Amino acid sequence: MSSYLISGGRSLSGQLHVHGSKNAALPIIAASLLHHGVTVIRGCPDILDVRYMIEILRSIGCGVLYEGDVLQIDASEICLENISRECVGKMRSSILLLGAALGRCRRMILDYPGGCTIGARPVDIHLKALEQMGVHIEEKDGAIHCETGGLSGVRIVLPYPSVGATENLMMAGAMAEGITWIQNAAKEPEVSDLAGFLSAMGVSIYGAGTDRIGILGKCSLHDAEYKVMTDRIVAGTYLLAAAGTGGEIELLDVAEQHIHCLLHLCEAMGCEIRMTERGIRIKSARRLFAVEDIHTQPFPGFPTDMQSQLMAVLATARGESVIYEHIFENRFRTAGELQKMGADIQIKNNRAVIHGVRKLKGCHVSAKDLRGGAALVIAGLMAEGDTIVENSIFVERGYQDICKDLTQLGAEIRHCRDTREG
């Protein structure tokens, strides 16, 4: 079992480039299946979830070259019957294959996707919307059986602005007859990035970044090259790490509008935020202030993917902070690990009340999911003494090389074997 060994108490300082976005790259990789040709994706992060998606593409016959941060996909010929069930079962984002696969091949059998157990995350929204487009769906033997005689452009009103469902419908709409309208669409920057990629391939798409997206189907597609946006969640993680350690760092090529809500919270905690010519600079106060009534919401609200990391930082803030989790019911599991380090956190239903303590103490903790693992890394950087974060594989699903990045900023962190192993 891989783990991180962290010696806490060092303030972060310096400059850092942030790698490409996990949540943007994965739907773009899936969308490459729409085109009978070659796609080049630049800025693609070398993380486990991308590696799993690459193995899925190879299993169905795609030619894939991955060098540095450049991913080249040749999807000229594919056979969905050979899809890697093992890789599908490892990642939630495999559900994003449905829209593109059905648009191109009209038939697909997909095992239920895996990934972090942070909540129910039902796929019903995806399936019911695809049914409206003319897909017959049957769920049996632990798999989703989908078939269509042809997709039809329709007006779909999502019951919730699901990012994944919005992205699946955008890909399906590209191959549908007529125009597909998505009402109550997700407005996340990653949705806009997918729209940018689809446009680069030749898809006519309107309204991305708003709650109403239109896709003109049956456009003529062509080879495309596209650069993935910077990962706003990774950027937010490093900003919070600097805040929690009393540091000062500059993150390069990060869009302020993508993390505006987090920057506002950092200022409320007492940090100084400044936009530079190349990115964002944060300078932390010696001890941060508590913040009340933080609610996780779809973009442009505070993202659920940053909630655990913020909780870790607020664990030593002066006063009482309150976080409400409205999206994934199991996000608070990390609180129990933070409590082992001395944090004073009470959980009741979807509310976490955090009473700031003077300091955290290093100890053995275990990551339960991707963002919770990143939160424990931050806590370890803040803590007195050494911390071992077990199950680092969760973190590697979304952070290209967190040890290298944090070391560059002055942290003392490295991979190690679990000391409890023989």
**Which H or E run contains 103?**
helix 97-105
Cα–Cα distance between 103 and 172 in angstroms, integer?
5
CB atoms within 10 A of CB 304: 18
Burial of 79: CB neighbours in 10 Å, binned 0-12, 13-18, 19+: exposed
Which of 236, 234, 242, 235 has the alpha carbon at shortest distance from 284? 242
Q: Which backbone phi and psi does 414 adopt, to 5 degrees?
A: -155, 160
Chain centre to alpha carbon of residue 380: 22
Radius of gyration of the chain from its Cα atoms, rounded to whole angstroms = 21
- Can you name the residues that pair with 295 across neighbouring β-strands? 324
Three-point CA angle 283, 287, 291, nearest 5°: 90
The DSSP code sequence of 310-379 is HHHHHTTSBSEEEEE--S-TTGGGHHHHHHHTT-EEEEETTEEEEE--S--B--EEE--SHHHHHHHHHH
First-to-last C-alpha distance (Å) of the chain: 11
Q: Give the catalytic positions in this structure.
A: 116
